[in-house]
Structure 1
Amino acid sequence: MNLLVNERAGRANRVKRAAALAIGLVLAADGLVLIALGYFNLGVVLPLGLGLGLCALGLRWRQTARWVGATARRAMLWRWFWRAVLCWLVTLAAFWAVLATKKLADVPAAPPAAIVVLGSGSPGSTASPTLVARLELALRDAMRHPQAVVLVSGGISFRARSEGEVMAEYLQQRGLPAGRIVKEERSTSTEENLVFSRPLLAAAGVAADAPVHIVTSDFHTLRTGLIARRAGYTAATAIGADTPLYLRYNIWLREYFALLSSWVLREV
């Protein structure tokens, strides 16, 4: 009987070890590839760290099991640690389910007085795929509403040029007249995008209560809408562009923590 129990426990441990190594390798490879492409943020670094940790756990599974089983206190802490991880995964899955079912915001019938395009923190001095998707959506919206001011918002951060300048250049190269474009070039966060844009919109003749379309990414519309209301946009509609598939789940992971951070900082 004891031999059978030990064999089952041994098989279970081998399965767990193999799973830890497989998942760890996938996460680590994903993080390394995205860093090589120039993406370096929480949504990339966290999966990389988790992946390396799981690989280390898989490689030292027996030593870890002996260390955990040495005292009852360690075994209890180990159980509570995995319960906390499970709780985090459940809340993350629920958040991702909301993002996956969230459709593009219904565009109101009233035409916007302004279209605000949020930067995406793209690396280098050219538009990233995520930012290109936002700009293309903004272009389509601007063509539908030729009277609307188009404000591009993004600061310098680690780039040689401001993201606002990069965005304005992209739009002009695709036929949008420079006279329709207003550049906001100081912001480094979503809250700053929206706060710093308000006086520029006012200077361009856009009333505080005028309808505004805020163009961002699909995953970002939820938080953008919450921040916009707190920033005083009384008639704003957040419109989301598709996120490239190879970046989608990394960015969704980052957005999970970004929403928590915005709540702690009272931005939403």
Structure 2
Amino acid sequence: MTKTRWLKYGWYSLWVLLLIWLISFALFIESLQQQIKRSAQPLPPVAAIIVLGSGTVAGKPTPTLAKRLDTAVTIIDAQPSAIIVTSGGIGYGRQRSEADIMASYLHTEHSLPFERILQEGTSTSTQENLANSKIILAAQEVDLAEPIAIVTSDFHIIRAAAIARHQGYEQPITVASPTPLSIRYNAWFREYFAFISGWLLGEY
């Protein structure tokens, strides 16, 4: 095969790969939007509400995390018997766990009593968030067969639900909080690659 034909074949292959990627990305976004719409439906009774961490700055939740906590409050108020778990560990160079900062925000901003909030303060990833939260739920005699709400950002709900099911949560109900507009589309783009990475690493 001549050099010209090799180049032509190479460019053709690249265009085919690009087309496949565009189709897969479009399907991911469509699926994500459908899941977001479903999560807006009224929530059935749940045994527990897990709020996943998303970063803190100067001892306060980032805007993305604050949105998650604000969204969780609407469920917490409607379901006073549900177990509440804030989940997030201690970041590099930090003194307090993310779970502790989340609990403080719920108490300060929404007057939620500290004694209602259980903290999972050792995790560093979604996989660890949900794995470590299982230990807390078991101590509270919450069965993983029961409906459990997982509050996270809208872009993250597909991956969070997949990881939860893989870890034995039989009825995970993901609740989507809105991502701040300034980072929304970048977050959705990055989440596509995170989802593929999680699949390759066997997280679900």
- What TM-score do the two structures reach when normalised by structure 2? 0.87
* Aligned counterpart in structure 1 of residue 154 of structure 2, from 203, 207, 218: 218
Answer whether contact 1:104 1:240 (CA < 8 A) is retained: no
Specify every segment of 5 or more residues in structure 2 that has no aligned partner in the other structure, as ranges.
Answer: none
| Residue in structure 2 matched with residue 153 of structure 1 by the alignment | 87
**Counterparts of 2:142 and 2:93, CA distance in 1:** 30
- One-letter amino acid of the structure 2 residue matched with residue 145 of structure 1: Q
Partner of 1:86: 19
User: How far is the alpha carbon of 1:90 from its aligned partner?
Assistant: 2.3
**1:130–1:243 CA contact under 8 A, matched in 2:** yes
Mapped contact 1:107–1:237 kept (Cα < 8 A): no
Q: Greater RCO between the two (CA within 8 Å, min separation 6)?
A: 2
In structure 2, which of residues 28, 35, 47 is the aligned counterpart of residue 95 of structure 1?
A: 28
Partner-residue secondary structure (3-state), 1:245: coil
1:8-55 deviation digits (Å, cap 9, x = unpaired): xxxxxxxxxxxxxxxxxxxxxxxxxxxxxxxxxxxxxxxxxxxxxxxx
Aligned residues: 197
| Residues 1:170 and 2:105 aligned together | yes
- The 8 Å contact of residues 90 and 97 in structure 2, kept in 1 or not, is answered as yes
Query: How far does residue 150 in structure 1 lie from its aligned partner after superposition?
Result: 0.9
Of 190, 198, 210, the residue aligned with 2:126 is 190
- From the two aligned structures, give the one with the greater strand fraction: 2
Return the match for 1:119 from 45, 53, 71: 53
Output the amino acid matched with 2:133: S
Q: Could you tell me how far apart the structure 1 residues matched to 2:145 and 2:134 are?
A: 11
What's the CA shift for 1:222?
1.5
Following the alignment from structure 2 to structure 1, what is the Cα–Cα distance between the partners of residues 56 and 11? 39
For 1:213 and 1:101, how far apart are their aligned partners in 2? 18
Q: Which has the larger radius of gyration?
A: 1
Amino acid in structure 1 at the alignment position of 2:50: V
Aligned position for 1:135: 69
**Unaligned 5+ runs, structure 1:** 1-70
| Structure with the higher fraction of residues in helix conformation | 1
The normalised TM-score by structure 1 is 0.68
